[in-house]
Chain A
Amino acid sequence: MRHNKIKPIVLLAALFSFAILTLSAKSIEFNGMLRDYLAYTFANSEFAVHEQALDFTLTGWGEHTRLVVNPTVYMSDDKPLTLGIREAYMDFFLENADIRIGKQAIIWGEAEGAFITDLVSPRDMRSFILADFKEIRKGVPAIKVDYYKDAFTFEGIWIPRFVPSTLPDKESMWAKKMPGQLASATVNSPASVEARLENSEVFGKISHFGSKANWALMGGYAFTNEPYISKVTPGTPPVIDQEYGRYTMGGGSLSTTVGSSVLRLEAAGYFDKPFAAVTQGPPPSVVVENHHQVQALAGLDWSLWQAQMSAQYIFGYLFDHNAKLMEQGRPVKEYSNTFTFRVQKTFISDRLTAKLFTYIETDPLNALVRPSLSWSIEDGVVLEGGVDLFVGDEDGTFGYYKENSLAWMAVRWYF
């Protein structure tokens, strides 16, 4: 509650600071978007979401500096007003280096709609993965330094204080229920990570930008962005404690042209990543185990009949797997195979855009199918509509939300 009262004060303070700091800046830009979003779930025959979002960015420019503040406001019929600042950072542009200090969203990798090496910024999963990509990304207070040498970039990131992903509330239609004996458990909020130097996160990346290929090698020492079950206290109901744990990641990405198409590759290894091994009981119990895990992606982008197309295959493997391992309240699979497909075509001088994005998991077979249409009423004003269909086996990542299939419409005004 106290947290909610502080937020507007923090926002106002940030805006005030921004105004003061930009007084000496050469110029200020202001742009953003207002959106009204309405979603209708088929299973419940109800308007499950009606939300207005205001997302704007103030940019102040100095001679060799830039200041960016990106406040957000979310309003809906059944939730309190939510104010936030997605990003608030300063850039210092040097001859061969850039330094960014402040709350910032950092994006890595070549994957589209998947998170393989892209683990620096935590995620906002309150709407599962249906929100705009920009909204899924959370800013983290960090210091990022990029040094440029010829076609190479050396990037170092220090996140002094760990920020976790935001998960859906217990009452949310996107909340995941614990299975079996733990379904009725009381789930405590994850233990926060102490703000100590040894608990900071560090990441590094070497990348090359060139004609033949763009590639990057990266690594990091991080916390799991999502919590795992650390303790189960038997009782009626049982009580679940959660925590975040350390692991090391290393990976790489590459994009190049093959003929007239673009090939994208990305892979990462997560070393000694903590997982909860849950025994349902009775009585239920848990042991935290550390396992290595790999994820890899191959994707191809091409153009056909003036439509942009993209297909991806994502492979996952967990070493020393056992049936007790759980992640986010769901069993962890030893092997996972996911395909994505996107086709997008514009009509009438880019006024009408038809798009289809699909995730397909093969074992068990389930999918998320997202066809949509958007119509540019005039420059900067867009009317959109679409359907998000969760289909297939309910044990799958997407089939689990079968009851949440929905139709939606939105109006966006860009300024």
Chain B
Amino acid sequence: MRNKHTRRVAFSVMLTLLAITSLSAAISGEEAMQNVYNRDSGNNMSANLVMTLTNSKGSTRERSIQQFRQADATGEKKIMFFLAPADVKNTSFLSYSYADGRSDDQWIYLPALKRVKRVASDGKSDSFMGSDFTYDDMGTRHPSADTHKVLRTEMVDGRSCLVVESIPKEAKPTYAKTLSWVVDNEWIGLKKEFYLANGTIGKRLEINSYEKKDGVWVITDMKMSNLEKNSSTRIQMLDVSFNNDLKENFFTERQMQIGPRI
């Protein structure tokens, strides 16, 4: 009986060791995050975003955005048209992200000024429309901006996830490190924690709902909680569609001024 138990324990230890060994041998943190970055996101995608901002007192405000995204081997282009509230209506935001890791190019169209302005990319840690998401969170951070390490595997919503620690390379990062829960072999993130320099969690991103649409994984409901401010922002992605028939020059200054209709 005891021998049997000992064999079981030994077998479990072996399996665990094998799992750890195979995990570390199978994939590095860099590879995991590169896979997340390279995950198929369709030729292009459009969606209506509803952002619900909840402050520490529980009062809520809502923002509405129509977003279009297109990716290719060189990087990603994204255009966002702000639909509500009324004081930001018709404002649009265009960004080009590059696969080679160079800084994003960003422009904003302000209808009151009737002008498309190039904006400084060092504002990436700024709040996006007063929400708990930053411009960096709304974009696609290039894996080369951080060093990554797979810490362990964990089950989230019944799925085996790699827990990847990412430490920013920049001199003065907003967060000292992040932990991402990435579904193994699917390369979709299900949870992310942003750690402050003192080791406590500053923000937490939770995925409430995700689905496979047209063969592409898409997050349709997520919530970013700011634990320092006791506020949160929920983003619901509605009317998601992939591989739309977008004009060749859709991601340009011209479209920023026209809006999403034509």
B208 partner residues in chain A, CB cutoff 8 A: none
Q: Determine if B129 is an interface residue (Cβ-Cβ < 8 Å).
A: yes
Task: Report whether A107 and B114 are in contact in the complex, using a CB–CB cutoff of 8 Å.
Answer: yes
Contact with B along A65-100 (1 / 0, CB 8 A): 010000000000000000000000001010000100
A214 at the interface (CB under 8 A from B): yes
Please tell me if the beta carbons of B130 and A93 are within 8 angstroms of each other in the complex. no
Q: Are A379 and B114 in contact (CB under 8 A)?
A: no
The CA of A132 and the CA of B131, in the complex, are separated in Å by 26
A153 to B255, CA, bound (A): 13
**Judging by beta carbons under 8 Å apart, are B53 and A255 in contact?**
no
Q: Classify chain B's interface size.
A: 35 or more
Instruction: Pick the residue among A98, A260, A303, A380 that contacts B85 (CB under 8 A).
Output: A380
Total A-B residue pairs with C-beta atoms closer than 8 Å?
107
Residues of A within 8 A of B116 (CB): 209, 214
Q: Which residue on A lies nearest to B59, using beta carbons?
A: A378
Instruction: Report B-chain residues with C-beta under 8 Å of the C-beta of A349.
Output: 53, 55, 61, 127, 130-131, 231
Q: Report Cα–Cα, A279/B125, bound state, in Å.
A: 59
Task: Determine whether A22 belongs to the interface, using a CB cutoff of 8 Å to chain B.
Answer: no
Q: For residue B2, which residues in chain A have a CB less than 8 angstroms away from its CB?
A: none
Of residues 247 to 262 in B, which have CB atoms within 8 Å of A's CB atoms?
249, 252-254, 258, 261-262
Residue among B116, B119, B120, B127 having the largest count of chain A Cβ atoms under 10 Å: B120
Task: Note all chain B residues with C-beta closer than 8 A to A378.
Answer: 61
Q: Is the CB of A262 within 8 A of B262?
A: no
For residue B185, CB closer than 8 A to chain A, the reply is no
Which residues from A are CB-within-8-Å of B81? none
Q: B121: CB under 8 A from chain A?
A: yes
- Contact (Cβ within 8 A) B89 A148: no
Partner of B96, one of A107, A211, A301, A415: A211
Q: Contacts A260-B103, A349-B231, A379-B62 given; indicate if A148 touches B254 (C-beta within 8 A).
A: yes
A256 at interface (Cβ–Cβ under 8 A)? yes
The 3 closest A-B pairs by CB, nearest first: A350-B130, A260-B122, A379-B85
User: What are 9 contact pairs spanning A and B, CB under 8 A?
Assistant: A214-B116, A260-B103, A302-B120, A306-B123, A349-B53, A380-B85, A380-B87, A412-B87, A414-B85
